[in-house]
Amino acid sequence: MVKVVDGRLVEHPILKFNRGKEVTIYFNGKPIKAYEGETVAAALYASGVRIFSRSFRWHRPRGFFCAIGKCSACMMEVDGIPNVRTCKVYVRDGMQIKTQSGFPNAEKDFFGVMDKLIDRIFPHGSQYTKFNNKIFREMLISRLRSFAGFGNAPKVEFSGNADYEEIECDVLVIGGGPAGMSAAINAGKYGAKVLLIDENPNLGGQLVKQTHRFFGSAKHRAGTRGIKIAKILEEELRKIPNVDIRLETKAFGIYGKIVGAVEKSKLLRIIPKKIVVVTGAYERTLIFENNDLPGVYGAGGVQTLMNVYGIKPGNRGLIVGSGNVGLILSYQLLQAGVEVAAIVEAMPRIGGYFVHAAKVRRLGVPIYVRHTIIRAIGKDHVRGAVIAQLDDKWRPIPGSEKKIDCDFICVAVGLSPTHELLYQAGCKMKFVPELGGLVPLRTKFNETSVEGIYVAGDVAGIEEATSAIMNGRIAGIHAVIALGLGGEMAKKELKESLRDLEEFRAGPFGERIICGIEKCILAKEVEI
């Protein structure tokens, strides 16, 4: 068994958790032990807090979901500032954290009774359809909204001297995951002045929670663990003096030739010649009864909690989805000493690599294909789930229901590109199911319909880290060539990198991606 103290793993077969100094934070007035380097959400979870907020209208309990700042389920008031995503804020000694939208707090919310009573007479969403009188309906909706609340306005006042900086650069890379680091390395090594920004306090994107050895070829660092690949890329990147790295810096808009970003509390006005948008992806959720119950988490959220912060997510989990993320997560849970009750998959066969499935199957984890989750069981936290078999029209077969004992459920049903910046910048977008959703049209060199804006990695289409690195390389090199840098060397390398990618995608897993890319390839072909 893996040893756990205060909800935290103190040993792990692969990882070493170096916790910072012990601090005390206050949660609704109650002192809670935490370690520097932990997010507020992680520290609260370790101390046993499961309800992070209440839904606006019916005061249903909500736990965290994504743990990477994308879903808003973890918003609380922190040191007087409302609506702070606690999964993105690091603990500080003496920090005051309060839940919002609940009386007296989100954990024991008297209004929680609403959810139980009102649904019988006034089903969820019916305020939009039940009343024909428009004035009455709008009044009711506005009453409901004000009752629900969005937290209280902060008591802190603006001091009147905001920091501001203007930065000019050749290539701006938005996102420091594998695709972003690779784009920055490859643009930087040919002499471009590169600025790389990431909203996280560390580089690596999704790689920082991938404890397993990667696939691919040795040239693409196969056999090396994801966490190590992140370190290798970072080292390479930090060696290039003309690359400026700004962490905790979030881009919020692309306005023609100007990009707006916030670095901690400083406003940045960035004027780049080329932009590479490599913002990754966020997790999808799935519709089933009680899917908002605390204990229903995104697979990546659980990976973050467990592999980045070393916090045990629960004792026994159910995994929904058998793509590589679901399969790998199952194995990682076993490594952290957490039982995996089962993996359910709606398709008639496992979606990820067979070898990943075989790894957990031989350790006794059942995999149910053609099954889905029907509902989560529990009042304020998951205490089990019901799964059922599906017929060939995807309907649950009556009588096939099975109850699964578990105390958390991981939804691993795929990712969607974080495409907002591209959309806002005016890039032509298209819905391509093979690539995970709405993606930008792009040339084979990864330039979008807006000249000078490039994409790579998951935001261009959900794939995986090796191809994200290859695509980042293509975007980075093409950007420098377009700037007139790099000469023949760069042109040669660009051709080589296209060939590499083609070879990598030659198998059946790549087929789907290629088919998706064909649907969004831009006719405009910039030859080099």
Partner 1 sequence: MKYLERGYAELDELPPFPSEERLKKKPVAYIECPQPIPCSPCYEACPANAIKMENINDPPVVNYEKCTGCMNCIRVCPGLAIFMLRLREDGKGEVTLQYELLPWLKKGDKVELLNRKGEVVGIGIVNWVLPPERNDQTSLVRVEMDTKLIYEVRAVRKVKE
Q: Which residues contact 293 (CB under 8 A, 6 or more apart)?
A: 61, 63, 376, 378, 380, 381, 382
Q: Which lies closer to partner 1 via its Cβ, residue 151 or residue 337? A: 337
**Encoded tokens for 326:** 């679901």
Question: In angstroms, what is the minimal distance from the CB of 204 to ligand FAD?
Answer: 7
**Beta bridge mates, 269:** 166, 260
What is the number of alpha carbons within 13 Å of residue 387 lying toward its C-beta?
23
- Contact segment (CB under 6 A) with ligand FAD among 18-26, 114-122, 208-216, 475-483 equals 208-216
Q: Which lies closer to ligand FAD via its Cβ, residue 105 or residue 304? A: 304
- Tell me which amino acid residue 134 is: K
Q: Which lies closer to ligand FAD via its Cβ, residue 299 or residue 373? A: 299
- Contact segment (CB under 8 A) with partner 1 among 25-33, 360-368, 473-481, 484-492 equals 360-368
Question: In angstroms, what is the minimal distance from the CB of 223 to partner 1?
Answer: 4
- Tell me which amino acid residue 136 is: F
User: Does the protein bind partner 1 through residue 344 (CB under 8 A)?
Assistant: no
* From the list partner 1, ligand FES, ligand FAD, none, partner contacted by residue 233 (C-beta under 5 to 8 A by kind): none
Q: Which lies closer to ligand FES via its Cβ, residue 44 or residue 480? A: 44
Residues in contact with ligand FES by CB under 6 A are 41, 64-67, 69-74, 85, 87
- Tell me which amino acid residue 331 is: Y
Question: In angstroms, what is the minimal distance from the CB of 85 to partner 1?
Answer: 32
- Tell me which amino acid residue 253 is: G
* From the list ligand FAD, ligand FES, partner 1, none, partner contacted by residue 70 (C-beta under 5 to 8 A by kind): ligand FES
CA distances from 82 to 59, 75, 98, 154 (A): 18, 8, 9, 6
- Tell me which amino acid residue 452 is: G
In angstroms, the CA 526 to CA 507 distance is 27
What angle is formed at CA 504 by the lines to CA 499 and CA 507, rounded to 5 degrees?
125
Q: Which long-range contacts (CB under 8 A, 24 or more apart) does 223-230 make?
A: 225/14, 226/465, 227/15, 227/307, 229/178, 229/465, 230/178, 230/181, 230/203, 230/204, 230/205
Tell me the number of residues near partner 1 by CB under 8 A.
Answer: 48
Question: In angstroms, what is the minimal distance from the CB of 338 to ligand FES?
Answer: 19
Question: In angstroms, what is the minimal distance from the CB of 435 to partner 1?
Answer: 17
Q: Which of 4, 7, 12, 237 binds partner 1 (CB under 8 A)?
A: 12
Q: Terminal CA-to-CA distance of the chain, rounded, Å? A: 57
**Encoded tokens for 33:** 């032990």
Among residue numbers 292 through 351, which ones bind ligand FAD (CB under 6 A)? 299-300, 303, 324-325, 328
The secondary element (H helix, E strand) that includes residue 265 is none
In angstroms, the CA 177 to CA 468 distance is 9
- Contact segment (CB under 8 A) with partner 1 among 98-106, 155-163, 257-265, 342-350 equals 342-350
Q: Which of 280, 294, 351, 378 binds ligand FAD (CB under 6 A)?
A: 280
Question: In angstroms, what is the minimal distance from the CB of 52 to ligand FES?
Answer: 8
In angstroms, the CA 401 to CA 311 distance is 32
User: Does the protein bind partner 1 through residue 5 (CB under 8 A)?
Assistant: no
Query: Which residues contribute to the site for partner 1 (CB under 8 A)?
Result: 1-2, 11-14, 212-218, 222-225, 228, 334-335, 337, 348-350, 353-365, 367, 369, 466, 503-510
Query: Which residues contribute to the site for ligand FAD (CB under 6 A)?
Result: 174-180, 197-200, 205-207, 210, 212, 214, 250-251, 278-281, 299-300, 303, 324-325, 328, 415, 418, 421, 457-459, 463-466, 468
